[in-house]
Amino acid sequence: MSWDVKILSLFPHLFPGPLSESVIGNALKQGIWSLEAFDIRKYATDKHRTVDDTPYGGGSGLVIKPDVLGYAIEDCFLKNNNPVIYLSPRGKKLDQAMAHRLINDDNGINLLCGRFEGIDERIINKYCIIEISIGDYVLSSGDLAALVLIDACARLLPGVIDRSAEEESLAVGGAFEYLLEYPHYTKPAEWKGLKVPEILLSGNHAKINAWRLEEAKKKTEQTRPDLWELYNKGAKK
């Protein structure tokens, strides 16, 4: 059974977009995961296909209507038992541990991509929707955030990427948990007077692994003190 992604968007043609390329795209073609995008506007009931209206209480912008979105959710999402996720800057922030949970706990996810000022709050309450943010900034639509979330999850599926996920940045479990990834080098051994660290040419894998771990620690401590604190807490357990 593949990991199934269903999307509600005002711009379904944006999908799969970049997700159709490289290893993620190959996995999509192989059926390791699947994707289907639906047009919210299809569920509008008036002749102008109106999907939004002005907010009660005043203010700028437009809000996606609950009747239109409710029809869409019930028709496209409620046929499966997968979680319904709304991409929102006020949601819990996406991290590597969450990506692992999303591929391990369910057979797939349902993604709701907002636009304008967002969606009617009653939709979130009625359908027990989970809000997820990809960072502390605002995008023009949830579609871009959905692409990020799908990529973060799909690459973790078995058979998608050959390399060990335990050595990647923010790996869950193992020696590199909470650490940013160590530096990488490839041929030539010297370029514009800059040389590859000698340890990487030594063939001593134990020493190379120790060097990589120390470099990951150094980078994390320098640039992400929040992760460095989490790493140290985990190391003391």
Strand (E) or helix (H) holding 92: strand 84-93
In a domain, 159, yes or no: no
Together in a domain, 65 and 45: yes
Query: 150 and 119: one domain?
Result: yes
One domain, residues 202 and 146: no
Domain stops at, among 130, 154, 178: 154
Q: Are residues 59 and 93 in the same domain?
A: yes
Query: For residue 237, what is the DSSP state?
Result: -
Q: Are the C-beta atoms of residues 138 and 89 closer than 8 Å to each other?
A: yes
Single residue among 128, 154, 180 that ends a domain in this structure = 154
> In CATH, what number is assigned to the domain containing residue 130?
3.40.1280.10
Residues 60 and 124 occupy one common structural domain: yes
In a domain, 51, yes or no: yes
Q: What is the per-residue pLDDT for 234? A: 80
Tokens representing residue 11 in the block: 């711009």
Q: What is the 3-state secondary structure (H, E, C) of 23-44?
A: HHHHHHHHCCEEEEEEEHHHHC
160 found inside a domain = no
Six token digits for residue 162: 């050959």
In a domain, residue 65? The reply is: yes
Q: What was the pLDDT predicted at 26?
A: 98
Residues 134 and 224 in one domain: no
Per-10-residue mean pLDDT of the chain, 237 residues long, equals 95 98 98 98 94 92 96 96 95 95 94 92 97 94 97 96 61 81 96 97 97 96 95 76
Query: Do 11 and 116 sit in the same domain of this protein?
Result: yes
- Closest Cα to residue 154, out of 11, 14, 37, 22? 22
Q: Is residue 22 part of a domain?
A: yes
Domain that holds residue 80: 3-154
Q: Return the pLDDT at 181.
A: 92
Residues 13 and 113 in one domain: yes
Domain count, the chain: 2
Inter-residue contact 130 to 83 (CB < 8 Å): yes
11 and 52, same domain (yes or no): yes
Buried b or exposed e, range 86-107, using 16+ CB within 10 angstroms? bbbbebeebebeebbebbeeee
pLDDT of amino acid 164: 55
Rounded to the nearest angstrom, the gap between the alpha carbon of residue 126 and the centroid of all alpha carbons in its chain is 24
Which of 133, 154, 175 is the last residue in one of the domains?
154
